[in-house]
A and B are shown apart, each in its own frame.
Chain A
Amino acid sequence: MIFKTFIKRLFPRSFDNDIYNLTPKDLIIRKSSNHGGFKFGLALLIIIFLFAIFGPIILDVSPYEQDLTKRLLPPVWKEGGSWEYIFGTDGNGRDYFARILYGTRISLTIGFGAACVGMIIGVTLGVCAGYFGGWVDQIVSYLLTCQLALPGLLLAMTIVFLIGPSITVVIFVIGATHWAFFLVVSRSATQKIKNLDYVTSARAIGASKFQIIMRDIIPNTFSQIIVIFTLEVGIAILNEASLSFLGVGIQPPTPSWGLLIAEGKEAIFFQPWLIILPGIALFTLVVSINMMGDGLRDITDPNSKISEE
């Protein structure tokens, strides 16, 4: 496909047939260029990103401007629709296409932001627990049990309700309730790596614990962590949609997709596009992220071989 020729030109060395010539980075590029799911997910995600970043700049539409005389107009493909409002309007006469477009930014920001927060917490705890073991590990295991026992969505709702909803709060709350996977993966990876000879050798040459953790252990857990990261982005996006749907996430008039679905809920019989369109948007975004994540998991699997299509 076009993708592959493009990549081939960018990274010619990756496609050298002599495997011994490939650096680890080349190997990853080569394997990714062969993985259908990964390419599809990545392509879709890039399109969505471009939409989110440049859409609002290029297209002159406003998600906030209300026109109460133009409420609940149907999308262009339905009877009564027009090209002026491609996706119709909502109950306040706002351009629905604009609202969904701007909502992309919300979902992406919160998704990646929350996953980052979760990653920082989870990986820090996991690597410490895996490397130091002993009472550090016990404490971290206890924290993990607590985290897993708490009902995530309810806890998030409560905290947001107490502190007050805003994008930053939502990002931190979702991140702080979703670090369990990161911890488990980085902990077990650290335990495995800690016993490898190159870590022992680093100790022998006098590297400090900090240096060993930063230079030897964490970089080698990266491939596993990145897979968890992509999956958590999807989860965070859905979580935010749930919170906003329930009213304890993003506040109106900011167009979060979850909020759009909540607002359109009553009109499900007569203006179903109010729910269907943001639903499709959510679905598309999460599917693309998940496909990318699955692809990454296959690509970074140390036992996977390069298979040409």
Chain B
Amino acid sequence: MSDLLNIQNLEISFQSNNKNLKTVENFSINLNEKESLGIVGESGSGKTLSMLALTRLLPKQASVSSGSIIFQNRNLDELDNKNFYKEISGKKISMIFQEPMTALNPVHTIGKQLLETYLYHNNVSVEKGIERALEILDAVKLTKYKQRMDQYPHQLSGGQRQRVMIALALINNPSLLIADEPTTALDVTVQKEIIQLISDLRETIGMALIFISHDLGVVSQISDNVVVMKNGEIVEKGKTLKVLEKPNHPYTQGLLDCLFKLEDEQKKNQIKDTPIIKVKEISKSYKLPAKIFKKPEIIYAVKKVSFDVKFGETIAIVGESGSGKSTVAKIINGLINKDEGKVEIKGQNIEDIEISDRAKIIQPVFQDPYSTLNPIHTIGYIVSRPLTINQNRSESEVKEEVIKILRLVGLSEEYYNRFPNQLSGGQRQRVAIARAIILKPQILICDEPTSALDVTIQSQILDLLNDLKTKLNITIILISHDISVVKYFSDRIIVMYNGEIIEMGNTNNVINIPKDKYTKRLMSSVFSLKK
């Protein structure tokens, strides 16, 4: 089989400070027709940039400084932009992206956008174009596709939009489809369906696929060959199964370790039987602003949720977006007022606890490391603040305590006077954890604490939390959509859907022997490594 795509020694440079910064070097890949290649790497590895170079979508400051791209035995460099867009882009090579909402034009209907792409590349009548559009929407298994033709992107769900984007990419029967993290922004159950769809379509249409992801699990399921990138260079190349079984490069090994860790059994903590938190039938609803001639809509975020949290245990609340898990967490933390029901912490009603006392019992850790710290405060100030607000201690005492806690979370003393913008994402999350534990709370509520971090950093933070759990004997409530993290970390799982608890039980039981239909679907969506 001849090469479909042959990239040799691609080099991409950025113009900055009158200097040229090489962001991607020595990038070489071969792709045969109908072959599927996975490009794996963390953020900053250059995996997206290299493909943007292929589709000529590089940002303004970046440019291809050397290397060749040969597609279907043609040197693409010889094509000027006008001809490239006419003959190749959107026709022979298509690309789909991560965020379908920004990829689709919000002011045009689905039908118009499909038509536009098709008619640009094919000289046919409008009727033929509509026919083809309907055909491809059916192929991507979009429900009610006839009506959808006249709908706008905002009227579709995330998964549906992604299907439309795939339809857009495939409408011209390309020879090569490049998918850049197409499912990262979607819920887990939908993720599985989309990956399955791409896989099936690849077979039916017979096209090559380049799949970019940071998720080794997904890549292992869908690609024949894999390429691992780090810092702009390829560190490992080869057949997927072989690379995963016996990686050559230590970096690849490191990535795998992180994953494997999550598959192992973990030590259990000292759990007492007495419940430290009692949640009884709490409900919370939001009223949407009333529109003319319509009654105000009410959204029920949480419906009669009840559960107990035992002293010292780690309980995870799992669910997709809209399940109500974050709302429950905020209610328990006292940050949102519930409409009905009772929350008791250590036997006391949460409304009866003084805010300063509550702060010493229960603290949150948030998801986004970039908004969790006030950018104008120093690290020292951020971490010392809980102390200065709630306790009356001397400055030196406070500083000492802060430095101790920073060391506990793995940050040296020199970070005391730094500002958040000088820290990486992982370091910021450490600071957030330090801030949460400095008052020695007995309960930590972690709302997706690692979702926004790279895989390697993720595992570091999870290790840290585990460590603190044992050292300080903290009860942890973990909110997550990532089943593998949950499996690694928690004793019990609560599964929520649409504001209600679907299933509750021991982690192993729920994951391996799910009772409810939804839970089953959820658990099966987890991509574990094909072994």
A binding-site residues for B, Cβ under 8 Å = 17, 20-24, 27, 196-198, 200-207, 211, 215-216, 219-220, 308
Contacts and interface: CB of A to CB of B under 8 A. Distances in A.
B372 A204 contact: no
Given A23-B419, A201-B432, A206 B356 contact: yes
B435 A205 contact: yes
Contacts, number: 71
Contact of B374 (A17, A20, A205, A216): A216
B81 interface: no
19 contacts: A17-B17, A22-B421, A23-B421, A23-B422, A24-B421, A27-B421, A196-B371, A201-B366, A201-B436, A203-B335, A204-B362, A204-B363, A205-B359, A205-B385, A205-B386, A206-B386, A215-B377, A308-B17, A308-B18
Task: From A22, A197, A219, name the one whose CB has the most chain B CB atoms within 10 angstroms.
Answer: A197
B335 A200 contact: yes
Given A22-B422, A197-B371, A205-B439, 13 more contacts: A20-B422, A24-B421, A27-B421, A197-B372, A198-B371, A202-B374, A204-B335, A205-B363, A205-B389, A205-B435, A206-B355, A206-B358, A308-B17
Contact of B389 (A21, A22, A207): A207
Contacts of A197: 366-368, 371-372
Given A197-B366, A206-B389, A24 B419 contact: yes
A164 B156 CA distance: 63
B288 interface: no
Contacts of A22: 421-422
Interface of B: 17-18, 333-335, 355-356, 358-359, 362-364, 366-368, 371-377, 385-386, 389-390, 418-419, 421-422, 432, 435-436, 439
Contacts of B356: 206
Contact of B372 (A201, A203, A215): A201
Nearest to B375: A24
Give the top 8 A-B pairs by smallest Cβ distance, nearest first.
A206-B359, A197-B366, A205-B386, A197-B372, A198-B374, A196-B371, A206-B356, A197-B371
A224 to B, nearest CB: 13
A265 B156 CA distance: 66
Nearest to A200: B335
Query: DSSP majority for the A interface?
Result: helix
A23 B421 CA distance: 7
Contacts of B436: 201
B333 A220 contact: no
A29 to B, nearest CB: 14
A80 B371 CA distance: 68
A204 B390 CA distance: 12
Contact of B435 (A17, A200, A201): A201
Nearest to B366: A197
Nearest to A207: B389
Contacts of A207: 385, 389
Nearest to B373: A198
Contacts of A23: 418-419, 421-422
A220 B422 contact: no
A200 B368 CA distance: 12
Contacts of B435: 201, 205
Contact of B364 (A20, A204, A215, A219): A204
A24 B359 CA distance: 29
Contacts of A219: 374, 376
Interface-centre pick from A198, A203, A204 (highest chain B CB count, 10 A): A204
A298 B422 CA distance: 21
A198 B431 CA distance: 12
B39 to A, nearest CB: 27
A97 B395 CA distance: 56
Given A205-B435, A206-B355, A308-B18, A24 B335 contact: no
Nearest to B387: A205
Contacts of A308: 17-18
A104 B358 CA distance: 57
Q: Which of A200, A202, A203 has the most CB of B within 10 A?
A: A200
Nearest to B365: A201
A114 B444 CA distance: 49
B113 to A, nearest CB: 28
A196 B371 CA distance: 6
Contacts of B363: 204-205
A263 B419 CA distance: 55
A204 B365 CA distance: 10
Contacts of A204: 333-335, 359, 362-364
Contacts of B333: 204
Contacts of A201: 364, 366, 372, 432, 435-436
B87 to A, nearest CB: 35
A23 B334 CA distance: 34
B500 to A, nearest CB: 25
B9 to A, nearest CB: 28
A70 B156 CA distance: 82
Contacts of B376: 24, 219-220
Nearest to B423: A20
Contacts of A27: 421
A104 to B, nearest CB: 34
Contacts of B355: 206
A241 B17 CA distance: 44
B422 A211 contact: no
Contacts of B374: 198, 202, 215-216, 219-220
Contacts of A202: 374, 385
A220 B419 CA distance: 14
Contacts of A205: 359, 363, 385-386, 389-390, 435, 439
A223 B319 CA distance: 39
A249 B359 CA distance: 55
Contact of A200 (B366, B389, B418): B366
